Amino acid sequence: MVPQIEGVLSLRKMLDQLKLKQVGKLKVETIIRLSRFVMTNNYFSYNGQFYHQIREGAMGSPLTLTISNCYMYFFERRIVNQIRNSGGLYFRYIDDIFITINWPVRHLLKQIERWNKFDENIKLSANIGSIVNFLDLSIENQDGQLFTTVYQKPSYEPYYLPFNSIHPLHMKKNIPFAMLLRDIRYCSKFESYLNEREKLRMALLLNKYPNKIIDEQFNNVLVKFGINEPLTSINFNRSRQKIIDSPIKEK
């Protein structure tokens, strides 16, 4: 949980570290004053009563997300250096952290206990094993080699934007395209890819997507990356690497 004032101070610290005097036409001092105002002036009503939020930031607020990232950035510096100096990998997305390190479990747990003393507002909990889930990615360590596939939470339901909705056609077409692209990127084994592709197809059919649209968009994924043949167990790794190595164009 990121405290309000300390969170704003971490934003100021980040701007100073980036040596920014202003962003657009706003000076840093103005940004900090506005940020403090937004963080400390959140109100909501419940059962006819109005409440003032005095701890942390408002859920869903873009500013809360930015400040949380700044706060976590400075919190994690010593941890990142320790992991990297030990030959490990450290990644974070907002408040989810992924670490791979060649330490005994007992030692890692001791380090997490020590890290939890860095800041009383941040408490880390561990999920340690040869198989871990990070966001929507499942990662398995098999004798020192990492394999990945798609992870779906137990609460997952196969609901997508229904094809019979009034949304523009290009939005609906983008769903099978984007989801299959994710499956290719995430699945390091061809068998996993086939499984995820067919689960995706069934989910799309349940949401009224015509088979023709599904097949068309599945094929468009390959065409977009210059792959002129269906994915097979023989060419999957090569084609997947080509997709992974392709730059992501900013919209």
DSSP 151-187: ---TT-------TTSSS-HHHHHHHHHHHHHHHHHH-
pLDDT for the residue numbered 195: 97
Nearest to 68 by CA among 136, 16, 6: 6
Domain assignment present for residue 160? The answer is: no
pLDDT for the residue numbered 199: 96
Let me know whether 97 and 55 are in one domain. no
Domain assignment present for residue 241? The answer is: yes
* Cβ proximity of 24 and 76 under 8 Å: no
Helix axes 4-17, 62-75, angle to 10 degrees: 70
Residue whose tokens read 């980036």: 18
Let me know whether 16 and 63 are in one domain. yes
Q: What is the mean pLDDT of residues 229-242?
A: 96
Tell whether the model's pLDDT for residue 160 goes beyond 70.
Answer: yes
Domain assignment present for residue 156? The answer is: no
- CA 80 to CA 188: how far, in whole Å? 26
20-75 confidence digits (pLDDT tens): 999 999 999 999 999 999 999 999 999 999 999 988 888 888 999 999 999 999 99
69-101 confidence digits (pLDDT tens): 999 999 999 999 999 999 999 999 988 999 989
Let me know whether 142 and 177 are in one domain. no
What is the reported pTM?
A: 0.80
What is the percent of the chain where pLDDT is above 90?
85
Q: Across all residues in the chain, what is the average pLDDT?
A: 93
Instruction: For CA atoms 109, 110, 112, 116, give the dihedral sign.
Output: positive
pLDDT for the residue numbered 80: 97
Domain assignment present for residue 157? The answer is: no
173-198 confidence digits (pLDDT tens): 999 999 999 999 999 999 999 999 99
Instruction: For CA atoms 14, 20, 21, 26, give the dihedral sign.
Output: negative
Let me know whether 65 and 95 are in one domain. no
Domain assignment present for residue 220? The answer is: yes
pLDDT tier at 250, thresholds 50, 70, 90: very low
The H or E element containing residue 195 is: helix 190-206
Q: What is the SS3 string spanning 45-57?
A: EECCEEEEECCCC
* Cβ proximity of 225 and 243 under 8 Å: yes
Domain count, the chain: 3
The residue segments making up the domain with residue 35 are 4-73
User: What are 113-120's contacts with CB under 8 Å, separation 24+?
Assistant: 115/78, 115/79, 118/75, 118/78, 118/79, 119/75
Tell whether the model's pLDDT for residue 251 goes beyond 60.
Answer: no
Nearest to 227 by CA among 244, 215, 239: 239
Q: Which of 120, 150, 180 lies at the terminal end of a domain, its last residue?
A: 150
Tell whether the model's pLDDT for residue 1 goes beyond 80.
Answer: no
Q: Which of 18, 44, 73 lies at the terminal end of a domain, its last residue?
A: 73
- CA 173 to CA 163: how far, in whole Å? 9
Greatest CA separation for the chain: 64
Tokens of 152: 């779906």
Let me know whether 127 and 65 are in one domain. no
- CA 88 to CA 163: how far, in whole Å? 44
Domain assignment present for residue 139? The answer is: yes
Domain assignment present for residue 19? The answer is: yes
Q: Which of 115, 150, 185 lies at the terminal end of a domain, its last residue?
A: 150
Let me know whether 180 and 232 are in one domain. yes
Domain assignment present for residue 26? The answer is: yes
pLDDT for the residue numbered 26: 94
pLDDT for the residue numbered 249: 66
